[in-house]
Amino acid sequence: MSTAIRSSSVELKDIHVRFGTLEVLRGVNLKVPSGSTTCVIGPSGSGKSTLLRCVNRLQEPDSGDLLLDGESVIASDPDALRQRVGMVFQHFNLFGHRSVLDNIVLPLRSVRGLSKEDAAEVARTRLAEVGLADKAPYRPAALSGGQQQRVAIARALAMEPEVMLFDEATSALDPELVKGVLDLMAGLASRGLTLIVVTHEMGFARSVADEVAFMDAGRIVEQGTPEQVFEAPASPRLQQFLSQVL
Ligand code: ADP
Ligand code: MG
């Protein structure tokens, strides 16, 4: 991949989210330096997806602040924010009735206002970068899950985001398709894009993350380097979690 990357730092300050009486995020603080990768791990229901959704304001927090590149974006235009912060979901979220190429072209035209020709050129370049140039005319259903996820990543990258969020991007994939997607994500990390990755892939977290944050019951209970978190977990909850997943 060749396109130069402009990445930003992310900071969450004392983020609270409630759904009715349930407080799902209970004061989350997280700093992700520009160009670094933070993996978020933790049990189901601990608030990982909600935290990630707060970073591009698909979820609006009840209180707290969100800083991108050191500036608060908590009250800014959410669409402008989402151009800067790309997100990749577990279930790809591609347009099923459109070609692979159009899945990338349409948002480039509507969000970035590119001409049809320019959008197609960017889309073809991005598809080639994820090894799928030959899939441009097909519907997503004609591709494997791993290929569909790579299209979703290409679509997000086409917006030239400064930060990318991955929410269990490989959880829906057949085991043999996981590595291709993780390798692509690792490539983005090594190119210096800022990544926040919710994952159950502890091998990825160990080898790619600069920092690992462990969430439980709406809080980041423990955070550190992969060595600290995996080799010397301090809290009993993290010790218990690791004994279940490793
Ligand atoms: P995780 O991604 O760690 O599994 P989530 O962030 O998806 O956790 O969910 C955290 C908690 O918030 C869960 O108890 C979940 O049921 C609840 N929750 C998530 N989204 C909503 C919503 N839109 N309305 C009500 N409760 C929600
Ligand atoms: Mg989740």
Provide the percentage of residues in the chain whose pLDDT is more than 90.
98
Q: So where are the chain's domains?
A: 10-95+162-243
Q: Is 49 in the pocket of ligand 1 (CB under 6 A)?
A: yes
CA 25 / ligand 1 centre spacing (Å):
9
The 3-state DSSP composition of the chain as helix, strand, coil percent (nearest 5) reads 40, 25, 35
DSSP state of 10: E
CA 39 / ligand 2 centre spacing (Å):
13
Q: Which SS3 state, helix, strand or coil, does residue 87 take?
A: strand
Q: What number does the ligand 1 atom closest to the CA of 46 have?
A: 3
pLDDT tens digits, one per residue of 186-203: 999 999 999 999 999 999
For all residues of the chain together, what is the average pLDDT? 96
CA 171 / ligand 2 centre spacing (Å):
10
pLDDT at 5 over 90: no
CATH topology of domain 10-95+162-243: Rossmann fold (3.40.50)
Q: What residues have CB less than 8 Å from 8, skipping those under 6 apart?
A: 34, 68, 69, 84, 162, 163, 194
Q: What pTM was estimated for this model as a whole?
A: 0.97
pLDDT tens digits, one per residue of 42-58: 999 999 999 999 999 99
